[in-house]
A and B are shown apart, each in its own frame.
Chain A
Amino acid sequence: MTPDRLRAALRGVPDPRWLDAALRRVATEPTAIPRLFATAARRCGREPLAEPPGWTVDEAARALLLTALPADHAVLADALYRQGDAAEKRAVLRALPLLPIGAECVPLLHDAIRTNDTRLIAAALGPYARHLEQPAWRQAVLKCVFTGVPLAVVDDLDGRADGELATMLAALAAERHAAGRTIPADATDLLRRLGAGSHPTTAREA
């Protein structure tokens, strides 16, 4: 994802002049961003974008506002997340991979993954999660399976999934099986790809 792609996607917002002015203002007056960030959904809309898929208008507009900052991206992203409602938090998480911040905002991922808001958990597992340490990443993937978040939201799933994750998933499958329940099909598929067996009985023995 790039800011240019988000910019192009937002050409059709109802009031493009508001967004243009907001982006210019943030570039020269970073302290203006909290109010503009809070207002962005009301001004731009909330519907899903056809392109880029998986983004909504408000997420894209807010991510663009963050990329328009001249400096201190990590500090301001942190403040906007901590003081944001759920939609603002989600937008900050989506924007992280677009910002020049290194691994500075990893604490925000930890916070999001601790919640039970599935939309925040999902948003924390995008490309920026490459900075997340492996044990925390495994727990987050397991939490996706546990709470019904589709594994398709997890960036680089197959590149990172390892034997330890397979063990954890197999244990969850065994517990569910013992209770007469199942795990989602995408988790069963992942287990199969990890070579840990596709049947709960196999998983239990694994």
Chain B
Amino acid sequence: MRIFDPHIHMTSRTTDDYERMAAAGVRAVVEPAFWLGQPRTSVDSFVDYFDSLIGWEPFRAGQFGVRHHATVALNPKEANDPRCRPVLDLLPRYLDKDGVVAVGEIGYDSMTPAEDAALAGQLALAVGHDLPALVHTPHRDKARGVERTLAVVAESGIDPGRVLVDHLNEVTVKLVRDTGCWLGFSIYPETKMSPPRMVELLKTYGTERMLVNSAADWGRSDPLLTRATGEAMLLAGFGEDDVDRVLWRNPVEFYGQSGRLDLTDLDAAAPTFAGNSILRGGE
């Protein structure tokens, strides 16, 4: 089973997770820029964070044979802090980078006017940089948040086929299914979605434009729930090809629209430096 986790915050995970993920078949990840739990108070904190997403983190992932890409944006929560808003002016520089395959996570948290402006502005950046967009949907007041998100997406003029609407569930899936957008589902130990519930949604709505992620971060989450979902699909009667479509080909197709997804040489072993393993780095 080859797995592409299209949404996981590896910055908040340990190297043990990379080892377990690689052993479970995770060969590629996309790490969206997000909130770090502790609110940031200056643009420079974002610079260091974004630099890590296109510098250290891909290197760390590579040591375990996992290919790492990122999405970059001002997240909805921090869009409300005037000290963080100048991050928007910084984004074009990052949106030119090879490892950046979408604008994201953008979207709503509390549906404030500041979030409206940041969402619309960043959808325009995605269009301007010819990049797809990863759109987070709010945890509270979710259904109305999804409706409002879809309205802003439609107004922006971005091709819906280049938009991934994430963190959907049984209620909100219906709102997105016929919009042409891609549908993301985060599988969590308790909240969001579970593997059995995800299987039911795949039975009902099919596998087209459906993406499954672990959205693992600093909270209670599990980077192996992508694999668990694939296994639950097989047990429920889906074929290997269905699993490959949901866990590999769909995310490859969505992020591949950036023209920057680099999955070459993924079959090679962990990177070596002129024949020497670099796994010893930092011992």
Indicate if the CB atoms of B59 and A86 lie closer than 8 Å.
yes
Contact with B along A133-172 (1 / 0, CB 8 A): 0000000000000111110110000000000000000000
Indicate if the CB atoms of B99 and A42 lie closer than 8 Å.
no
- Docked Cα-Cα span, A181 to B58, in Å, equals 29
Q: Which residues of A from 35 to 77 have beta carbons under 8 Å from B?
A: 35, 38-39, 41-42, 46
B260: which of A42, A87, A118, A150 is its contact (CB, 8 Å)?
Answer: A42
Q: Which residues of B from 237 to 283 have beta carbons under 8 Å from A?
A: 259-260, 262, 273-278, 280-283
Indicate if the CB atoms of B98 and A150 lie closer than 8 Å.
no
Indicate if the CB atoms of B281 and A148 lie closer than 8 Å.
yes
B275: which of A34, A39, A150, A153 is its contact (CB, 8 Å)?
Answer: A150
- Docked Cα-Cα span, A184 to B93, in Å, equals 40
Tally of contacts, chain A with chain B, CB under 8 A = 61
With an 8 A cutoff between CB atoms, is B128 at the interface? no
A40 — nearest CB in chain B belongs to which residue? B98
With an 8 A cutoff between CB atoms, is A89 at the interface? yes
- Docked Cα-Cα span, A35 to B280, in Å, equals 35
Indicate if the CB atoms of B274 and A42 lie closer than 8 Å.
no
Indicate if the CB atoms of A152 and B274 lie closer than 8 Å.
yes
Residues of B within 8 A of A150 (CB): 273-276
The count of chain A contact residues (Cβ–Cβ below 8 Å) is: 26
With an 8 A cutoff between CB atoms, is A119 at the interface? yes
Q: Say how far B272's CB is from chain A's closest CB, in angstroms.
A: 9
Residues of B within 8 A of A87 (CB): 98
A85: which of B98, B259, B273 is its contact (CB, 8 Å)?
Answer: B98
Contact with B along A102-133 (1 / 0, CB 8 A): 00000000000001111100100000000000
A58 — nearest CB in chain B belongs to which residue? B98
B59: which of A42, A119, A148, A149 is its contact (CB, 8 Å)?
Answer: A119
Residues of B within 8 A of A86 (CB): 54-56, 58-59
Indicate if the CB atoms of A118 and B278 lie closer than 8 Å.
yes
With an 8 A cutoff between CB atoms, is A83 at the interface? yes
Residues of A within 8 A of B278 (CB): 118, 147-149
A150 — nearest CB in chain B belongs to which residue? B274
Contact with A along B74-95 (1 / 0, CB 8 A): 0000000000000000000100
- Docked Cα-Cα span, A152 to B274, in Å, equals 9
Indicate if the CB atoms of A38 and B96 lie closer than 8 Å.
yes
Indicate if the CB atoms of B273 and A148 lie closer than 8 Å.
yes
- Docked Cα-Cα span, A79 to B64, in Å, equals 31
Indicate if the CB atoms of A119 and B55 lie closer than 8 Å.
no
Residues of A within 8 A of B283 (CB): 146-147
A149: which of B54, B259, B273 is its contact (CB, 8 Å)?
Answer: B273
Residues of A within 8 A of B59 (CB): 86, 117, 119
B97 — nearest CB in chain A belongs to which residue? A85
Indicate if the CB atoms of A39 and B58 lie closer than 8 Å.
no
Q: A38-B98, A118-B281 are in contact. Are A148 and B58 (CB under 8 A)?
A: no
Residues of B within 8 A of A122 (CB): 273
Residues of A within 8 A of B96 (CB): 34-35, 38-39
A181 — nearest CB in chain B belongs to which residue? B283
- Docked Cα-Cα span, A20 to B279, in Å, equals 39
Residues of A within 8 A of B281 (CB): 116, 118, 147-148
Q: Say how far A32's CB is from chain B's closest CB, in angstroms.
A: 12
Residues of B within 8 A of A148 (CB): 273, 276-278, 280-281
Q: For the complex of A and B, list the 9 residue pairs with the smallest distance between their C-beta atoms, beginning with the closest.
A: A85-B54, A38-B96, A147-B281, A86-B55, A148-B276, A148-B280, A117-B59, A118-B278, A150-B274
6 A-B pairs whose Cβ atoms sit less than 8 Å apart in the complex: A38-B96, A38-B97, A46-B262, A86-B58, A116-B281, A149-B276
